[in-house]
Structure 1
């Protein structure tokens, strides 16, 4: 008898991802004035709003779904790897475009890359790109030797989970940096609906990270230990 407890974890991860999506969309749609001053153009506002949407929904949520593909998608390993690679490619493109939006600020490129959040973001996307390229060469390219893929697999899994966790931590530092700046400027009060949404978004990302990693490392199924029957006869011992 085989049970699959990971299905419950996948359901909780999907539920948490839905909550995170609702929170980040609510923050971006209903509190747009918190992203840029009123004096900036509509173009600057669009780029500022796109950054959290691309990095949270496009980068973190989609890459998390790519990690879960091997747990729920039916079919062959080849089809699972194809979907995994495709989703990770979408996440990588979202991360690159999300960073690109910060290049469009009126203060220039350097002004947007002075904080710990920005440095971690560059490191995270760089590691993610290297990880995607390595995964493509090691697991998708048919010319690779099987022993090479077997040796690379543990490192691929470790770096994938590490990069995903790093992405969530980077998002948390970005939320903290943004909310602290808004509260210091008096734009947002410590006790208001926007502060609750941003804090809830941070908690949701932390919960999602734990669920995705737990699902990835948990056993796929629990199988009962097969029993061996020993039958004795006068001349020999038979097993069944």
Structure 2
């Protein structure tokens, strides 16, 4: 059942990228980096790829790779979150430059407030996690205390990103086709199904990473091994909560 749901989650990730690509590419004029509305279109594509697809896959890794050596899973987790952060930065730069080029205010809507909050939380979580778990900059006791919060914030941030995306979809529709939205043009169907896919993906990923019987089996020695060394920790006797 676990791997069936992971397959469904991956299919939803592909569907989300296809739908946002069709929406921005076919109905909104494609992408560019010139201050036009085409530059704005970079924002939803890169946010979907970064904070939803890459981020969601990073969370599912600890359930999908249950028998893979922990240090490899941790490394892939870090890499996916690095890619997510890069995508989010590009997305924010695109929308900010578009607003500035067209004399529009920044960070005034509930979508932007939630989005900026999620981005800041993600960046702080990434930075703390990098030096807490990936590199030997914290004691085992500090890692042990922080780990439950790290896991909670990971799920919360992913849910917040999905919520911001849903609000952003509605905002974009109201700004773009408010006069024809009620007549259900093809663009409305694409955007609405995109929102449905985001909602379904949020539900599936959250279930996968919080369903207790699917927790990764504990391996204390490799659990606390930094990714920068190939020497496993030895002699540890730490009773910590399981990974995602």
TM-score w.r.t. length of structure 1: 0.82
**Shift in Å, 1:151:** 1.1
Q: Which of the numbers 22, 28, 48 marks the counterpart of 1:26?
A: 22
Q: Distance in 1 between matches of 2:61 and 2:165?
A: 23
Are the counterparts in 2 of residues 124 and 166 from structure 1 also a CA contact under 8 Å?
A: yes
Deviations 1:189-232 (A, max 9, x none): 53111101100000100000111111011222799xxxxxxxxx
Separation in 2, partners of 1:140, 1:153: 13
Among 70, 77, 81, the alignment partner of 1:84 is 77
1:147 equivalenced with 2:105 (yes/no): no
Tell me the distance in 2 between the aligned counterparts of 1:85 and 1:76.
15
CA contact (8 A) 1:17 1:208 kept: yes
Post-superposition CA distance 1:12-40 (Å, at most 9, x none)? 1111112111111111111124x89xxx9
**Cα RMSD for the two superposed structures:** 2.4
Q: Does the residue aligned with 1:180 lie in a helix, a strand or coil?
A: helix
Q: Is the 8 A contact 1:66 1:87 kept in 2?
A: yes
Residue 236 of structure 1 corresponds to none
Residue 52 of structure 2: aligned partner? 60
Q: Which has the higher contact order (CA 8 A, sep 6+)?
A: 1
Partner of 2:236: none
Aligned counterparts, 1:153-172, within 5 A: 153-172=147-166
Name the residue aligned to 2:118.
124
Counterpart CA distance in 1 for 2:63 and 2:78 is: 15
Aligned partners of 1:44 and 1:104 also within 8 Å: no
Change (3 A) 1:41 1:167: closer
CA 1:91–1:220: 2 relative to 1, 3 Å: same
Paired residue for 1:51, among 43, 57, 72? 43
Could you tell me how far apart the structure 1 residues matched to 2:6 and 2:127 are? Answer: 27
1:40-92 deviation digits (Å, cap 9, x = unpaired): 99652431111111011232111001111112235211111111011001101
- Scaled by the length of structure 2, the TM-score of the pair is 0.80
Alignment gaps of 5+ in structure 1: 224-240
The total of aligned residue pairs comes to 213
Tell me the equivalent position of 2:131.
137
What's the counterpart of residue 12 of structure 1?
A: 8
Pick from 179, 183, 194 the counterpart of residue 177 of structure 2.
183
Residue of structure 2 aligned with 1:107, choices 102, 115, 119: 102
Q: Which consecutive unaligned segments of at least 5 residues does structure 2 have?
A: 218-244
Structure-2 change in CA distance of 1:222 and 1:126 (3 Å): closer
